[in-house]
Amino acid sequence: MSDTRLSFKEMCAEFDVTPRTLRYYEYIELLQPDREGRSRFYGPRECARMKLILRGRKFGFQLEEIRQWLLIYENEGNEAQMRAFLEMADRQMLELLDQRAQLQEAMDELQKLRDQTAAGLPS
């Protein structure tokens, strides 16, 4: 991506998000586009933030966690942000491991019930 600015529509297309999502991210102050009249333009900073937001969402982080993490960079710098990320990642890994265990338990129970049902059918 070059250093050119993206329009609202281009930003939606570039990151495959809906206009509603993009407006919401602005509303909760994850993004702060430049405004010229009624038009919004997103520069390299906002594009980089959007990449981080979407990556965080992919890993299951809450939007407020992502917002706080982005603020750390602005207020305390890169090293503090990296340390905060390590803590966030460790917490999220535990959460994902728990979710995986719950999912495996549900799959095992479903498979057992499916097999019992299949065994009860006449051949």
Check pLDDT > 80 for residue 2. no
- Collapse the DSSP code of 64 into the 3-class scheme (helix H, G, I; strand E, B; otherwise coil) and give the result: helix
**Six token digits for residue 47:** 């594009």
| Band of residue 116 on the pLDDT scale cut at 50, 70, 90 | very high
Question: Can you give the pLDDT at residue 85?
Answer: 95
Check pLDDT > 60 for residue 101. yes
Check pLDDT > 90 for residue 27. yes
What pTM was estimated for this model as a whole? 0.82
CA–CA dist 18, 22 (Å, integer): 6
Query: Average pLDDT of 97-112?
Result: 98
**Contact assessment for residue 31 and residue 42, using Cβ atoms and an 8 Å cutoff:** yes
Instruction: Go through the chain and tell me how many residues it has.
Output: 123
- Collapse the DSSP code of 42 into the 3-class scheme (helix H, G, I; strand E, B; otherwise coil) and give the result: strand
Query: Average pLDDT of 20-29?
Result: 96
CA distances (Å), 64 to each of 13, 67, 80, in order?
24, 5, 18
Query: Average pLDDT of 76-87?
Result: 95
Check pLDDT > 80 for residue 38. yes
Query: Average pLDDT of 30-55?
Result: 95
Would you say domain 1-58 falls under CATH 1.10.1660.10? yes
- Give the distance, in angstroms, between the CA of residue 97 and the centroid of all CA atoms in the same chain: 18
Query: Average pLDDT of 92-117?
Result: 98
Check pLDDT > 70 for residue 40. yes
